[in-house]
Amino acid sequence: MIAIVDYRIGNVHSVHKAVQALGYDVIITDDHQQLLNADALILPGVGAYQDVMKFLHETGMDEVIYQYVQSNKPMLGICLGMQLLCTESEEYGMQQGLNIIPGRVTRMQDKPKIPHMGWNKLQFKQNEWVQSLEEGHVYFAHSYHVEVEKEEDVLATVNYHGPITAMVNKGNVFGMQFHPEKSGTTGKDLLRHFLALTEKVIVS
Amino acid sequence: MLTKRIIPCLDVKDGRVVKGVNFVQLKDAGDPVELASFYDEQGADELVFLDISASNEGRKTMVDIVEQTAGKLSIPLTVGGGVSTVDDMHNLLRAGADKVGVNTAAVHHPEIIESGAKVFGSQCIVVAIDARYNEQWKDWEVYTHGGSKASGLKVLDWANQVKELGAGEILLTSMDADGTKDGFDIPLTSRVSNAVSIPVIASGGAGEISHFYDVFQEGLADAALAASVFHYKQFTVEEVKQFLQQNGVEVR
- pLDDT tens for B103-131 read 999 999 999 999 999 988 999 999 999 99
- What is the mean predicted confidence (pLDDT) over B182-210? 98
Q: B199: nearest CA in chain A?
A: A113
The pLDDT of residue A111 is 95
Chain B residue at shortest CA distance from A188: B74
Asked about A79 being catalytic, the answer comes back as yes
Decide if B51 is catalytic.
Answer: no
For chain A, give the longest Cα–Cα distance. Answer: 47
Is the pLDDT at B25 greater than 70, yes or no? no
- What residues of chain B, 62 to 81, have a C-beta less than 8 Å from chain A? 67, 70-76
What average pLDDT does the structure give for chain B? 92
Residue ranges covered by each domain of chain B = 5-246
Inform me whether the pLDDT recorded for B28 exceeds 70. no
Give residue B16's pLDDT.
Answer: 86
All residues at 6 or more sequence positions from B62 whose CB lies less than 8 Å from its CB, including other chains: B12, B15, B49, B51, B53, B79, B81, B82, B92
Question: Which one from A16, A88, A91, A181 is the annotated catalytic residue?
Answer: A181
| pLDDT-based confidence at residue A10 (cuts at 50, 70, 90) | low
Domain that holds residue A181: 2-199
**Contacting residues for B6 by C-beta, under 8 A, at least 6 apart:** B43, B44, B45, B212, B223, B224, B226, B237, B240, B241, B251
Residue A92 lies in a domain: yes
Q: pLDDT tens across B60-105, in order? A: 889 999 999 988 999 999 999 999 999 999 999 989 999 999 999 9
A86 counts as catalytic: no
Q: Is the alpha carbon torsion for A53, A58, A62, A64 positive or negative?
A: negative
Using the beta-carbon criterion (under 8 Å), do B199 and A18 form an inter-chain contact?
no
* Peptide bond preceding A102 in cis form (omega within 30 of 0): no
Whether A114 sits inside 8 A of B73 (CB atoms) is no
Find the CATH number of the domain harbouring A153.
3.40.50.880
| pLDDT at residue number B24 | 39
Whether A126 has a pLDDT exceeding 70, the answer reads yes
DSSP 8-state code for residue A180: G
Asked if the Cβ–Cβ distance from B93 to A115 is below 8 Å, we say no
Q: Is there a domain that residue A204 lies in? A: no
What's the number of domains chain A is made of? 1
B71 and A143 in contact by Cβ < 8 A?
Answer: no
Query: Domain B5-246, what architecture?
Result: Alpha-Beta Barrel (3.20)
Smallest Cα distance from A101 to chain B, Å: 23
- Whether the complex's predicted ipTM is more than 0.90 is answered with yes
pLDDT at A104 over 50: yes
Q: Is A10 on the interface with B (CB under 8 A)?
A: yes
